[in-house]
Amino acid sequence: MLKYLIFSWVLLTITMDVRSQIPTPITHSKETSIIPSPVKIVYEDVRSEIKSLIFPNNLPIDKKFLNTLFTYGKYSFAQSKKKVNVILLSQKDMAPSSYKLIIGKKRIEILASDNNGFQYALVSLAQIVQFEGFPLQCRTIEDNPAFVYRGMHLDVARHFFTVAEVKKYLDYMAYYKFNHFHWHLTDDQGWRIEIKKYPKLQEHAAYRNETLIGHYNDQPHKFDGVKYGGYYTQDEIKEVVLYAADRNITVIPEIEMPGHALAALAAYPELGCEVKKYETATKWGVFEDVFCPYDTTFRFLEGVIDEVVSLFPGKYIHIGGDECPKDSWRKSEFCQQLIKDNNLKDEHELQSYFIKKMEKYINGKGKQIIGWDEILEGGLSPNATVMSWRGVQGGIDAATLHHDVIMTPGSHCYFDYYQSENPTEPLAIGGLTTIDKVYHWNPIPESLAAENHKYILGGQSNLWSEYIHTYSGVEYMVYARGMAMSEALWSTSKNYDGFLSRFERHADFWKSKGAKVAMHIYDIKPRFKAGTGKGVELSFVTPQDANVVCTRPDQKSENLSVGSSIKIDQSGTYTFKAIKGNREGRALKLDFDLHKATQATIILDKSPSKPYEGQGPASIINGVQGSNAKYGGSEWLGFSGNDASGTIDLGKNTSINELKFRFFKGEGQWIYLPKSLEVEFSSNGEKADTTLVINDIKSDTKVAEVIVNAGVNETRFIKFRAKNYGIIPEGAQGSGHPAWLFIDEITVR
């Protein structure tokens, strides 16, 4: 535990104001090596004479962590009672978690008001030493975090990670100044924490009979037939919590309720609404079997909370509250009577009743609850903090009600999403969250009133582990984007090019330690210009002005200068690669099919949902098909609850034989094929000359290709409407929510 104080002898070693010993500083534009980037750095035109670091014995930082920090690199350090060159000064008038780091010619001085500030200063010093080496450039750094909550999440319920691996995660967090670890300990697929009062939780709920192979959307489902599981003993929990505290990280346990409870029901079936045998889930998704709000259920959960509270000294207990289907409650006579007896409107208010009852008990234990934004439905609990994951609206609503909010929208914070469109990426749940998208994220929504900004405590990255079997998979999905997230939550000013320069050094450092870090910053990001009636042009976003080498379908190669574009004038495969010095990105191959619509213009009736807007409406007529395996990226357009409809203008009357539409199917992720497809052909854009309707669209694969046999002459305008499925039915993943509709290339011949 971080329990050391700054002793008075340190202050006595300072006989004058330390700032008076520093020469007049000169501001330099030199790029720092620190991630996250400090608020202010002033460099001097002199180098320090220090050749190794000598710390005082009594430090406000755990000695083992100090050893980890400064033995990451090749530079030595020591501790001494008397002869030191790193001086720590307690300054009570400084803001919490802030620090001042002064690297002088003969000594280094750190000023802070609390242990957090001293630790963050030492982390910054460790990074400077690691990436710049001795002799150090003299400088003064003034720094403080932009947000008080800077979190990282790890799901150990779907796949289990050892205590040693969790400690690695905590070391990474501390190195980038995160201060909250959200530990997702229970779910349908496994219960991972020992509860001594209920031994069946670790005997039965901690294990599942087998595990799904491949993606949930793959049909038919296949399983490995191997029993899987594990749990943390209470002694191991204490060990992790202490290890985190030594790094100034608060651990927030998540005990899911009332949904995501299938593993617990497998151990204690009497807590479910139906009399039947429950099994720990062997596949992913949402299940209709949830805790039934009996008195015995609340007594059970209170017993669990009693032991959880004793293990986690932090302020918060996360109770989940997300993705709780109401089907079993609707069928339950007990639940329906409970709704009547308590004058509740419906099952949503019953969930609020459930959450409020547990919140009252948890508050009585001196703790506060955090819940996912579904806890807003049916009325928000009085003292609850909301984690906004289904976009930003939940956070806006909660902050407007003057509740604390932690922002974690899937569009920017879900690190189980793909981080590159390259087809060689390992299997992921879906979506696309690139490192630059994470870096440029602001946790405060633009539409939130300024007076409510104070309720946004910060943000958090989430790593759900359905498709992550090993810790090297955790490293691959987290370590690159985690650096970007650290800067998004700490730094007040952003410089992406500067970040990329620092990121390269940090990534090389972690790889030298054996970590598997995703290096996608030199992957080319294409920018299409289409839908203007002038064909397809392509330009690129490349980091740090890398050059692009293009190989055309005829195998002719050319170097493209920074900022230039290329006209796509023939069908076939184009290959692009970014190169800068001895670094290069992975090859990007784009197969272009120049059909009649690639020369057209397009107008959509409604814009796609913001997280899935591709590169605008022209994404679906640019001659490139989206991935058959994943729905995020630059090609697929996603519509939540809305139809996909619009008009393609071919520019002149043209004969059309056939159209091909592509739709994504992923019902486990709320993505449904359209109910119907209607296509109108018109020569003047006002009156339909021909209308075709296709109903009963089906597919056995993830992508449905719908062929429309047109056979029309002299038509210029093509109006199309793919009708959204509507509300997801009971018993399905996401029941009660509007379905997503994803559309890709519309090929016209």
Q: Is the pLDDT of residue 140 over 80?
A: yes
Mean per-residue pLDDT for 416-424?
92
- Specify the residue for token string 């959880």: 308
Average pLDDT over the chain reads 92
pLDDT digits (tens, 9 = 90+) for 211-226: 999 999 888 999 999 9
pLDDT digits (tens, 9 = 90+) for 667-723: 988 999 999 999 999 999 888 999 999 999 999 999 999 999 999 999 999 999 999
Return the number of other C-beta atoms located less than 10 Å from residue 187's C-beta: 28
Contact 437, 383 (CB under 8 A): no
In this prediction, residue 165 has a pLDDT band, given cuts at 50, 70 and 90, of: very high
Which of the two residues, 66 and 401, has the higher pLDDT score? Answer: 401
Which of the two residues, 16 and 391, has the higher pLDDT score? Answer: 391
Q: Is the pLDDT of residue 19 over 50?
A: no
Read off the tokens for 635: 């090609």
Vertex 304: Cα angle to 301 and 305 (nearest 5):
85
Q: Is the pLDDT of residue 27 over 50?
A: no
Contact 645, 720 (CB under 8 A): yes
Contact 215, 522 (CB under 8 A): no
In this prediction, residue 544 has a pLDDT band, given cuts at 50, 70 and 90, of: low
End-to-end C-alpha distance for the chain, whole angstroms: 70
In this prediction, residue 561 has a pLDDT band, given cuts at 50, 70 and 90, of: confident
β-pairing, 149-155 with 456-461?
A: parallel
CA atoms within 13 A on the CB side of 642: 15
- Identify which of 518, 394, 475 has the alpha carbon closest to the alpha carbon of residue 154: 475
pLDDT digits (tens, 9 = 90+) for 270-291: 999 999 999 999 999 999 999 9
pLDDT digits (tens, 9 = 90+) for 621-671: 999 999 998 888 889 999 999 999 999 999 999 999 999 999 999 998 899
pLDDT of residue 736: 86
pLDDT digits (tens, 9 = 90+) for 581-635: 888 888 999 999 999 999 999 999 999 998 899 999 999 999 999 999 888 888 9
Q: Is the pLDDT of residue 454 over 60?
A: yes
Of the listed 182, 260, 348, 403, which one is catalytic? 260
Q: Is the pLDDT of residue 4 over 50?
A: no
- Specify the residue for token string 């854009």: 685
pLDDT of residue 381: 77
Read off the tokens for 483: 């650096």
pLDDT of residue 24: 35
Look at 52-61, 160-169, 510-519 and tell me which has the smallest mean pLDDT: 52-61
Contact 731, 328 (CB under 8 A): no
pLDDT of residue 426: 95
pLDDT digits (tens, 9 = 90+) for 172-202: 999 999 999 999 999 999 999 999 999 999 9
* Alpha carbons 462 and 698: distance in angstroms, whole number: 34
Of the listed 323, 377, 425, 487, which one is catalytic? 323
In this prediction, residue 8 has a pLDDT band, given cuts at 50, 70 and 90, of: very low
Return the number of other C-beta atoms located less than 10 Å from residue 70's C-beta: 20
* Alpha carbons 241 and 238: distance in angstroms, whole number: 5
Q: Is the pLDDT of residue 116 over 80?
A: yes
SS (H, E, C) 357-388: HHHHHHHHCCCEEEEEHHHHCCCCCCCCEEEE
Rama region for 321: left / alpha / beta (φ>0; ψ in -120 to 50; rest): left
pLDDT of residue 16: 29
Report the share of the chain in percent with pLDDT over 70: 95
In the chain, DSSP finds a helix count (H) and a strand count (E) of 16, 36
pLDDT of residue 68: 83
Residue 129 CA: distances (Å) to CA of 28, 72, 133, 142, 722? 19, 10, 5, 18, 58
Which domains does the chain carry?
8-143 (3.30.379.10), 149-492 (3.20.20.80), 597-749 (2.60.120.260)
Q: Is the pLDDT of residue 255 over 80?
A: yes
Of the listed 109, 187, 475, 487, which one is catalytic? 187
323 is catalytic: yes
